[in-house]
């Protein structure tokens, strides 16, 4: 099922089969050159597969944008231990809603991507870690897995290659933190979802202490296309080092919010104005959050950039998971900052001090500030606490909470100050706060 | 250690072994990097973020507790950025800390206090409300105050990794995260209290010490635990002559900071209301309080009279008294009373092992060896229950050096979980079973064998022969029960052996009556019992005998006595004790109980009353004599005097002993049982686990057995 | 008092009298009377002012607010003892004259506002030097210097004050 009208400007690669009847069934998938890419890779050596991936300049779609081919090449072979394939579908970043579409509309594409990864490292098993709230998707993916077993794409001696591979689905328990790869592994192993010490990275010591390929759902889904149509074709879709297309999840104050597949490097302003039909009610653009709630926001005047990993990084933000939130001129930035930090405070796993205590403190200040009890020095205090958290936490969740917060202050300090003027209740004396 | 890594820290060139963690390497160089969650010997957490340092060529601050030093690394711990990070981290920690230092037990020795004092900000900018959660009691000995907790996970690790219990975990998430016990609202564990000691703040507090006093108000007396034979150093916190707590935070002694429930909480027997504080003399068939002068005169007169008419004495020594007292006691028996009828409750066959090991030099393992040995074999003992410190050592050895542990026991034990190989065998049949381990054992570089009371007499000789046949260096630990069981044996509180395992015949004497014979003899004229409770199990056959008992409490034996003399406990006297591995350690007097005298003094005074001189009854004078005259006890005095453990080297020749395996049996104490002393410890008897389980089976207490007999 | 200048103010009048023979005697008398009156001005003036000396022991003495007298153990607004037995006063005391034994409050028996209270709180006034360090050290403002000063005793053992002796009576804030 699709949730929005496709746009004519889209370049459909991973979403090419979306909207077709029974697109989640294996028969329709096979009719659309399904599992052809996998069959092709069965004839290739692991080195050739990884080289092809490197040539495609596919980068991880989860958030960090790490080159996938390079990641796979880190997986040690001949360790005597099995290697595992894990698909991260624990999509929890506010603003992001692409994995659910991929699993809902084209689960076989994902399975094929995982099979290619599995074949590359001769893995005995793969796991699809699905966000707990996506309960309905498990049935869809389980059905697809069962179909793949029936047709001999999974199980013993797959397509006569002598290679055995199983795929299991696994649900998270509703923790944002478990989207972090090592916390996901802990959760998968049945432990408390807290991140692990790195190094060693999951590629070397991952699930069950074995080498592991851990990629995002969209990353795996993009792989069949690379082997079907060639790495060069894939790389040419985007700017250099940013191969392929990306599912952009646009939400916020635009006329046509939705998920659109666009090549990397697609201009942000064109996305808002052409693909999404412009700002809602003709309001002016105030800011854009370009990569899920954890990425620093861009002011309207900074939005004249292309949507690829490097351009967004140059604008001192990050492409993240592709959750683009468009904010119009009426947006209450203090309220937004509070809502954002509430989320991270709720989702902080509690492992390390700066994230656990920092998010809680920020939330408390912003709640008071938003409720009208703000003091002038709070603005600097919020900024300082967020800056103090940044780069000092155990995993990236602390950074994810700190970055938007201090960016809001840096870019919209005037709004914070105005808030102080207009809503400060007279009856709360300074002393009562101290 | 050939290739040291050279790195620069705060402008100083420093060398360290490769793969040393930065925090340790800095410490070696004399630079403190603060940390809460890092704890030597346990797994790395990197959770507290206090140890952030600046490393050249890395953009972010790095945690020193997980970063190994590398060649040419340039580290700064004194930059403004690092100082700001530490200050910020402490400010964050204090945002939800109640700051109730005036009532907090940890106040004065709190790591958070120290850190804030050194690195923190003077004022907090936190003006919001703090979360409050009520304090919870998890067991009679453990309380948890969530708001004070800084979540360093030390307690979780010491319980899981150190003790192998894993009774603590983390619950909830984010700022609501808290430590939770294994039974939801309460703990079921070893109740060792290691979590409390290791807690850097006052989140976990001790049931005995809570709100009693403050650390600077106490005298800290380092002595040796008087319960089991492991000989753990315990530092008593003494205020007004009363013990308020016991721990070993300074990691002195063989045990480092390890203590079990008995060591940490069992001390409360010492000021039990039923402690004897005045001598009792039987007048008209009833025990009545008397003065020391009266009581000693009564005993002296009676003993002198019995001796004069050539009457028959029996002397029963103790497993708890010091080496000096044991040495003095056998002197008293053999010289002052002129009898060889002296024995003690034997809980392990040390004498036979010493005999079987003739010609083997250095075949007795020390407690430190258990941490370094590549392999160990446990025979017939539930080690974690009966010898918790030895179990701790083996577990640490496995954790740090991947030691291979083998076990042959009659039931499941905790060591099964990490042991290389385990086997079940009925008691007495372990030696047949051990043959199936031969192949594995012979592959090890060296081996330590720990054996319980089921290996006795001939079995000990067979075991040593088995060890010899493996072709690898093998050393032994004969497991005995009590704090100075080993010393009682070494000091010749035996009918057939003099101190240092010399035969009595060497001194022109005949072996006297053994423990069972003393009790079953019908013609005893006088029985002298020092801190032992033989009548709890066997009544005295000689109904007419004059019985003198020295003890802390009115035990079953003391109730039958004609004169009861209140003795001082091990926490109230100086002297030395020998632990299960034959290491001599020094006791230091901490507590005081009015009216009680040390056994040494009592013996001296009785001999004085009898008009016999057997030497000065001062512990250091007696110890000097022990060092001179007992083979193997010529230990390095500086080591002992400074609180160290000096290994003994008992005779390396044949021991002219009379094999009496039937006399040897362990009391089967668990973590929560320890003969008479354990019965009088309120804390030990109050825990849910009391009396505990051996080999997974519930254990009956002495009292329960007695009650069952009576009904 | 300014120095007496007997001839300073009226030289003409006195000199005149001196030269008038019989009148000279009268002049001397008057002179003396003036001198006495002048000498007594301060006395007479002060006679009208209220006395500044204290009538102790007939009347209670008056102290400066910050006078450091015998200690008082304070109560909080609920009547509970402020002292939580943190031992900081004992630690600060330079003459070791404070002795405390702590005990734990229970739900049934609540003595102080904190978890802990002082079961025994003794100050040995044989040794106390009234330096005020204990008051400064107190984190809960439980111990204060009162204005009590009649501490002398022929019996030194009577100088060890117990908690009950020092505690502020209930209701007297």
* Residue ranges of domains in chain C: 11-48, 70-166
The per-residue pLDDT for range A309-352, each reduced to its tens digit, is 899 999 999 988 889 999 999 999 999 999 999 999 999 999 99
- Would you call C108 helix, strand, or coil by DSSP? coil
- Residue A433: what pLDDT? 37
Query: Are chains C and B touching, using the cut-off of 8 Å on CB pairs and a minimum of 3 such pairs?
Result: yes
User: B44, A197: Cβ pair inside 8 Å?
Assistant: yes
Q: Measured between beta carbons, which residues in chain B are less than 8 angstroms from residue A433?
A: 127
- C-alpha span between B557 and B690 (Å, rounded): 24
pTM (2 d.p.): 0.90
Q: Is the pLDDT of residue C107 over 90?
A: no
Range of the domain at A305: 245-328
- Residue B703: what pLDDT? 64
For residue B394, whether the previous peptide bond is cis, meaning omega lies within 30 degrees of 0, is: no
- C-alpha span between C105 and A31 (Å, rounded): 78
- The residues facing B447 across adjacent strands are B474
- C-alpha span between B521 and B514 (Å, rounded): 10
Among A311, A328, A345, residue at a domain's last position? A328
Asked whether residue A21 is assigned to any structural domain, the reply reads: no
Shared-domain flag, residues A32 and A147: yes
How many angstroms separate the first and last alpha carbons of chain B? 68
- Residue B362: what pLDDT? 85
Per the CB < 8 A criterion, the answer to whether B576 and B586 are in contact is: yes
For residue B318, whether the previous peptide bond is cis, meaning omega lies within 30 degrees of 0, is: no
- Residue A428: what pLDDT? 41
Distances (CA, A) of B528 to A419, B342, B492, B534, B656: 89, 9, 16, 11, 26
Surface of A (162-191) touching B: CB under 8 A: 175, 177
Per the CB < 8 A criterion, the answer to whether A108 and A34 are in contact is: yes
Sign, CA torsion B209/B211/B215/B220: negative
Asked whether residue B657 is assigned to any structural domain, the reply reads: no
- Residue A3: what pLDDT? 85
- Residue A429: what pLDDT? 41
Shared-domain flag, residues B32 and B125: no
Q: How does residue C62 score in pLDDT terms, banded at 50, 70 and 90?
A: confident
Displacement of CA A78 from its chain's centroid (Å): 31
User: B102, C102: Cβ pair inside 8 Å?
Assistant: no
Asked whether residue B642 is assigned to any structural domain, the reply reads: yes
Query: Which DSSP state fits B663?
Result: G
Q: Phi, psi (5° rounding) for residue B565?
A: -115, 125
C-alpha angle A262-A128-A222 in degrees, rounded to nearest 5? 25
Asked whether residue A11 is assigned to any structural domain, the reply reads: no
Segments in chain B below pLDDT 50: none
Count of the separate structural domains present in chain B: 4
Asked whether residue A301 is assigned to any structural domain, the reply reads: yes
Shared-domain flag, residues A253 and A363: no
Q: Is the pLDDT of residue C52 over 90?
A: no
- C-alpha span between B205 and C106 (Å, rounded): 16
- The residues facing B364 across adjacent strands are B476
Among B47, B78, B109, residue at a domain's last position? B78
Query: Which DSSP state fits B372?
Result: H
Q: Measured between beta carbons, which residues in chain A are less than 8 angstroms from residue B120?
A: none
Asked whether residue B658 is assigned to any structural domain, the reply reads: no
Write the CB contacts of B383 (distance below 8 Å, at least 6 apart in sequence).
B390, B391, B394, B407, B413, B414, B415, B450
Neighbors of chain A with 3 or more C-beta pairs under 8 Å:
B
Distances (CA, A) of B517 to B495, B514, B649: 11, 5, 31
Q: CATH code at A251?
A: 3.10.20.600
Per the CB < 8 A criterion, the answer to whether B99 and B150 are in contact is: no
The per-residue pLDDT for range B672-696, each reduced to its tens digit, is 999 889 999 999 999 999 888 999 8
Shared-domain flag, residues B389 and B470: yes
Shared-domain flag, residues B522 and B451: no
Sign, CA torsion B64/B66/B68/B74: negative
Q: How does residue A424 score in pLDDT terms, banded at 50, 70 and 90?
A: low
Q: Measured between beta carbons, which residues in chain B are less than 8 angstroms from residue C116?
A: 103, 211
Q: CATH code at A129?
A: 3.40.50.11540
Asked whether residue A117 is assigned to any structural domain, the reply reads: yes
Shared-domain flag, residues B420 and B327: no
Tokens in use for B177?
């995260």
R_g of chain A, CA atoms, integer Å: 22
Write the CB contacts of B548 (distance below 8 Å, at least 6 apart in sequence).
B299, B302, B303, B526, B527, B528, B529, B561, B562, B563, B564, B565
- Would you call C144 helix, strand, or coil by DSSP? strand
Shared-domain flag, residues A298 and A349: no
Distances (CA, A) of A113 to A148, A225, C105, C111: 13, 9, 65, 70
Shared-domain flag, residues B304 and B184: no
H helix runs in B456-596, sequence order: 458-469, 485-490, 515-520, 556-560
Tokens in use for B205?
């507090």
- Residue A430: what pLDDT? 42
Shared-domain flag, residues A306 and A341: no
Asked whether residue B702 is assigned to any structural domain, the reply reads: no
Asked whether residue B662 is assigned to any structural domain, the reply reads: no
Q: Is the pLDDT of residue A432 over 50?
A: no
Asked whether residue A115 is assigned to any structural domain, the reply reads: yes
The CB-side HSE value for A128 (13 A sphere, CA atoms) comes to: 32
Shared-domain flag, residues B600 and B533: yes
- Would you call B466 helix, strand, or coil by DSSP? helix
Asked whether residue B680 is assigned to any structural domain, the reply reads: no
Shared-domain flag, residues B285 and B148: no
CB pairs under 8 A between B and C: 37
Cα torsion A252, A253, A257, A261 to 10°: value is -70
- C-alpha span between B230 and B392 (Å, rounded): 11
Distance from C86 to chain B by nearest Cα, in Å?
5
Q: B177 at the A interface (CB within 8 A)?
A: yes
Asked whether residue B669 is assigned to any structural domain, the reply reads: no
Q: How does residue A110 score in pLDDT terms, banded at 50, 70 and 90?
A: very high
Distance from C63 to chain B by nearest Cα, in Å?
32
- C-alpha span between A16 and A28 (Å, rounded): 12
- Would you call B499 helix, strand, or coil by DSSP? coil
Q: Is the pLDDT of residue A413 over 50?
A: yes
Tokens in use for A94?
């506010």
Query: Which DSSP state fits B453?
Result: T
Other CB atoms within 10 A of residue B255 CB: 26
Query: Which DSSP state fits B531?
Result: S
- C-alpha span between C168 and A344 (Å, rounded): 51
Q: B172 at the A interface (CB within 8 A)?
A: yes
- Residue B421: what pLDDT? 94
Surface of B (57-76) touching A: CB under 8 A: 59-61, 66
Shared-domain flag, residues A315 and A405: no
Shared-domain flag, residues B488 and B410: no
Shared-domain flag, residues A317 and A344: no
Asked whether residue A349 is assigned to any structural domain, the reply reads: yes
Three-state secondary structure along chain A? CCCCCCCCCCCCCCCCCCCCCCCCCHHHHHHCCCCHHHHHHCCCCHHHHHHHHHHHCCECCCCCCCEHHHHHHCCCCCCCCCCEEEEEECCCCCCCCCHHHHHHHCHHHHHHHHHHHHHHHCCCEEEEEECCCCHHHHHHHHHHHHHHHHCCCCECCHHHCCCCEEEEEEECCCCHHHHCHHHHHHHHCCCCCCCCCCCCCCCCCCHHHCCEEEEEHHHHHHHHHHHHHCHHHHHHCCCCCCCCEEEEEEEECECCCEEEEEECCCEHHHHHHHHCCCEHHHCCEEEEECCCCCCCCEEHHHCCCECCHHHHHHCCCCCCCCEEEEEECCCCHHHHHHHHHHHHHHHCCCCCHHHHHHHHHHHHHHHHHHHHHCCHHHHHHHHHHHHHHCCCCCCHHHHHHHHHHHHHHHHCHHHHHHHHHHHCCCCCCHHHHC
Q: CATH code at B224?
A: 3.30.70.20
Shared-domain flag, residues A60 and A179: yes
Q: What is the mean pLDDT of chain A?
A: 92
Q: Measured between beta carbons, which residues in chain B are less than 8 angstroms from residue C91?
A: 214, 216-217
Sign, CA torsion B292/B295/B301/B305: negative
Range of the domain at B385: 364-478
- C-alpha span between B255 and B247 (Å, rounded): 11
Tokens in use for B520?
């079953």
Q: Measured between beta carbons, which residues in chain B are less than 8 angstroms from residue C96?
A: none
Shared-domain flag, residues B558 and B520: yes
- C-alpha span between B683 and B31 (Å, rounded): 41
Distance from A350 to chain B by nearest Cα, in Å?
4
Count of the separate structural domains present in chain A: 3
Q: CATH code at A341?
A: 1.20.1440.230
Among B478, B495, B516, residue at a domain's last position? B478
- Would you call B301 helix, strand, or coil by DSSP? helix
Task: For the domain made up of C70-166, give the CATH fold.
Answer: Alpha-Beta Plaits (3.30.70)
Q: B83 at the A interface (CB within 8 A)?
A: no
Tokens 């009650």 correspond to what residue?
B707
Shared-domain flag, residues B468 and B504: no
Phi-psi region of C119 (alpha: psi -120 to 50; beta: other; left: phi over 0): alpha
Shared-domain flag, residues A278 and A419: no
Q: Is the pLDDT of residue A58 over 50?
A: yes
The per-residue pLDDT for range B454-513, each reduced to its tens digit, is 999 999 999 999 999 999 999 999 999 999 999 999 999 999 999 999 999 988 999 999
- Would you call B530 helix, strand, or coil by DSSP? strand
The residue among B643, B598, B645, B639 whose CA lies nearest residue B622 is: B598
Asked whether residue A4 is assigned to any structural domain, the reply reads: no
Shared-domain flag, residues A116 and A249: no
- Residue B229: what pLDDT? 95
Shared-domain flag, residues A366 and A396: yes
Shared-domain flag, residues A129 and A33: yes
Shared-domain flag, residues A77 and A109: yes
The residue among A85, A344, A355 whose CA lies nearest residue A220 is: A85
Query: Which DSSP state fits B161?
Result: I
- C-alpha span between B549 and B536 (Å, rounded): 13
Per the CB < 8 A criterion, the answer to whether B476 and B355 are in contact is: no
Q: How does residue A423 score in pLDDT terms, banded at 50, 70 and 90?
A: low
Residue-by-residue DSSP string for B188-246: -S----HHHHH-SSSSEEETTTTTT--GGGSEEEEEE-SSBTT--EEEEEEETTEEEEE
- C-alpha span between A168 and A84 (Å, rounded): 11
Asked whether residue B659 is assigned to any structural domain, the reply reads: no
Mutate: best of C117, C139, C140, partner B, most B CBs <10 A:
C139
Asked whether residue A1 is assigned to any structural domain, the reply reads: no
Tokens in use for A70?
């390079």
Distance from A45 to chain B by nearest Cα, in Å?
36
């Amino acid at each position: 099922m699709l949730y929005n009208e496709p746009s004519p400007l889209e370049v459909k690669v991973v979403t090419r089969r979306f909207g077709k009847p029974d697109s989640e069934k294996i028969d329709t998938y096979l009719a659309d050159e399904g599992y052809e890419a996998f069959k092709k890779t069965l004839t290739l050596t692991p080195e050739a597969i990884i080289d092809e991936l490197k040539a495609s300049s596919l980068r991880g779609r989860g958030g960090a944008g790490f080159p996938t081919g390079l990641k796979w090449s880190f997986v040690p072979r001949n360790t005597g231990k099995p290697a595992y394939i894990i698909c991260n579908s624990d999509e929890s970043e506010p603003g992001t809603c692409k994995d659910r579409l991929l699993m809902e509309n084209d689960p076989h594409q994902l399975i094929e991507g995982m099979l290619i990864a599995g074949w590359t490292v001769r893995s005995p098993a793969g796991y699809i870690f699905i966000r707990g709230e996506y309960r309905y998707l498990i049935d869809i993916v389980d059905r697809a897995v069962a179909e793949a077993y029936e047709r001999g794409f999974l199980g013993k001696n797959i397509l006569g290659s002598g290679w055995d591979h199983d795929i299991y689905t696994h649900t998270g328990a509703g923790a944002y933190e478990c989207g972090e790869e090592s916390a996901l592994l802990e959760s998968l192993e049945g432990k408390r979802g807290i991140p692990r010490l790195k190094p060693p990275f999951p590629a070397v010591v991952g699930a069950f202490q074995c080498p592991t390929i851990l990629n995002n759902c969209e990353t795996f889904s993009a792989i069949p296309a690379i082997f079907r149509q060639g790495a060069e074709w894939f790389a040419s879709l985007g700017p250099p080092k940013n191969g392929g297309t990306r599912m952009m999840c646009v939400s916020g104050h635009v006329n046509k919010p939705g998920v659109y597949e666009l090549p990397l490097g697609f201009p942000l302003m064109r996305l808002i104005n052409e693909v999404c039909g412009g700002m809602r009610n003709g309001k002016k653009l105030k800011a854009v959050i370009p990569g899920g709630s954890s990425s620093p926001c861009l002011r309207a005047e900074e939005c004249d950039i292309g949507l690829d990993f490097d351009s967004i990084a140059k604008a001192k933000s990050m492409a993240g998971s592709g959750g683009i939130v468009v904010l119009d001129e009426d947006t209450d930035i203090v309220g937004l900052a509070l809502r954002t930090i509430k989320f991270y405070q709720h989702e902080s796993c509690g492992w390390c001090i700066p994230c656990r205590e920092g998010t809680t403190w920020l939330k408390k200040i912003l709640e008071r500030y938003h409720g009208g009890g703000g003091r002038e020095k709070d603005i600097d205090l919020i900024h300082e606490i967020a800056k103090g958290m940044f780069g000092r936490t155990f995993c990236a969740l602390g950074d994810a909470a700190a970055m938007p917060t201090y960016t809001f202050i840096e870019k919209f300090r005037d709004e914070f100050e105005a808030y102080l003027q207009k809503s400060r209740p007279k009856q709360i004396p300074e002393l009562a706060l101290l | 250690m050939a290739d040291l890594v050279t790195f620069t820290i705060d402008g100083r060139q420093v060398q360290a072994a490769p793969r040393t963690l930065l925090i340790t390497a800095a410490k070696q160089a004399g630079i403190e990097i603060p940390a809460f969650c890092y704890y030597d010997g346990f797994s790395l957490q990197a959770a507290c973020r206090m140890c952030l340092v600046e490393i050249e060529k890395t953009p972010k601050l790095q945690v020193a507790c997980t970063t190994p030093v590398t060649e040419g690394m340039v580290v700064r711990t004194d930059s403004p950025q690092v100082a700001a990070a530490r200050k910020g981290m402490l400010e964050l920690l204090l945002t939800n800390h109640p700051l109730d230092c005036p009532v907090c037990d940890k106040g004065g020795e709190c790591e958070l206090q120290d850190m804030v004092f050194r690195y923190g900000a003077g004022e907090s900018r936190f003006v919001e409300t703090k979360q409050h959660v009520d304090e919870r009691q998890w067991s009679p000995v453990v309380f948890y105050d969530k708001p004070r907790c800084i979540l360093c996970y030390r307690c979780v690790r010491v319980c899981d990794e150190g003790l192998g219990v894993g009774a603590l975990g983390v619950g909830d998430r984010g700022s609501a995260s808290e430590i939770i016990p294994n039974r939801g609202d309460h703990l079921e564990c070893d109740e060792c209290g290691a979590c409390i000691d290791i807690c850097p703040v006052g989140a976990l507090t001790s049931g005995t010490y809570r709100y009693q006093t403050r650390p600077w108000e106490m005298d800290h007396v380092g002595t040796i635990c008087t319960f089991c034979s492991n000989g753990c150093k315990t530092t008593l916190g003494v205020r007004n002559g009363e013990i308020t707590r016991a721990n070993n935070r300074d990691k002195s002694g063989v045990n480092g900071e390890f203590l079990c429930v008995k060591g940490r909480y069992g001390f409360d027997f010492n000021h039990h209301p039923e402690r004897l504080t005045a001598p009792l003399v039987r007048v008209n068939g009833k025990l009545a309080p008397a003065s020391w002068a009266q009581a000693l005169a009564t005993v002296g007169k009676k003993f002198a009279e019995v001796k004069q008419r050539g009457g028959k004495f029996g002397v029963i020594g103790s497993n708890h008294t010091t080496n000096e007292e044991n040495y003095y006691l056998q002197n008293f028996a053999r010289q002052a009373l002129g009898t060889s009828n002296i024995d003690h409750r034997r809980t392990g066959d040390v004498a036979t092992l010493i005999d079987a090991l003739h010609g083997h030099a250095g075949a007795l393992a020390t407690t430190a060896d258990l941490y370094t040995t590549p392999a160990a074999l446990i025979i017939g003992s539930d080690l974690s229950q009966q010898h918790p410190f030895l179990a701790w050592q083996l577990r640490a050895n496995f954790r740090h050096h991947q030691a291979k542990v083998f076990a042959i026991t009659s039931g499941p034990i905790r060591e099964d979980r990490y042991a290389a190989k385990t086997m079940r065998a009925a008691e007495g049949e372990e030696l047949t079973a051990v043959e199936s381990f031969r192949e594995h054992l012979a592959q090890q570089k060296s081996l330590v064998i720990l054996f319980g009371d089921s290996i006795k007499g001939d079995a000990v000789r067979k075991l040593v022969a088995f060890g010899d046949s493996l072709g690898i260096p093998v050393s032994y630990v004969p497991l005995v029960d009590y704090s100075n069981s080993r010393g009682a044996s070494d000091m010749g509180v035996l009918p057939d052996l003099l101190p240092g395992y010399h035969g009595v015949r060497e001194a022109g004497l005949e072996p006297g009556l053994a423990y069972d014979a003393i009790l079953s003899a019908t013609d005893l004229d006088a029985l002298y019992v020092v801190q032992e409770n033989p009548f709890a199990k066997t009544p005295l056959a000689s109904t007419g005998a004059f019985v003198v008992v020295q003890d802390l409490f009115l035990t079953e034996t003391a109730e039958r006595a004609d004169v009861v003399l209140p003795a001082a406990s091990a926490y109230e006297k100086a002297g030395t004790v020998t632990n299960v591995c034959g290491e001599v350690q020094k006791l230091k007097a901490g507590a005081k109980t009015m009216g009680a005298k040390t056994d040494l003094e009592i013996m001296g005074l009785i001999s004085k009353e009898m008009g016999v001189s057997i030497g000065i009854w001062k512990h250091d004078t007696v110890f000097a004599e022990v060092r001179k005259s007992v083979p193997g006890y010529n230990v390095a005095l500086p080591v002992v005097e400074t609180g160290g453990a000096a290994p003994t080297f008992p005779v390396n020749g044949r021991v002219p002993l009379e094999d009496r395996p039937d006399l040897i049996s362990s009391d089967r104490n668990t973590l929560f049982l320890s003969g008479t002393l354990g019965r009088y410890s309120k804390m030990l008897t109050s825990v849910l686990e009391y009396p505990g389980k051996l080999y997974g089976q519930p254990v009956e207490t002495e009292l329960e057995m007695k009650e069952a007999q009576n009904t | 008092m300014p120095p007496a200048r007997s001839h300073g103010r009226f030289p003409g009048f006195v000199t005149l009298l001196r030269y008038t023979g019989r009148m000279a005697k009268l002049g001397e008398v008057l002179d003396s009377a003036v001198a006495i009156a002048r000498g007594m001005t301060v006395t007479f003036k002060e006679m009208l002012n209220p006395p500044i000396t204290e009538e102790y022991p007939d009347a209670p003495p008056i102290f400066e607010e910050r006078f450091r007298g015998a200690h008082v153990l304070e109560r909080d607004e609920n009547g509970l003892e402020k002292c939580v037995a943190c031992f900081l006063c004992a630690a600060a005391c330079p003459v070791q004259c404070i002795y405390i034994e702590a005990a734990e409050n229970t739900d049934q028996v609540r003595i102080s506002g904190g978890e802990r209270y002082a079961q025994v709180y003794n100050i040995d006034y044989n040794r106390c030097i009234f330096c005020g360090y204990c008051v400064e050290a107190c984190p809960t403002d439980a111990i204060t210097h009162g204005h009590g000063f009649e501490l002398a005793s022929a019996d030194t053992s009577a100088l060890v004050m117990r908690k009950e002796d020092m505690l502020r009576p209930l209701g007297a804030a």
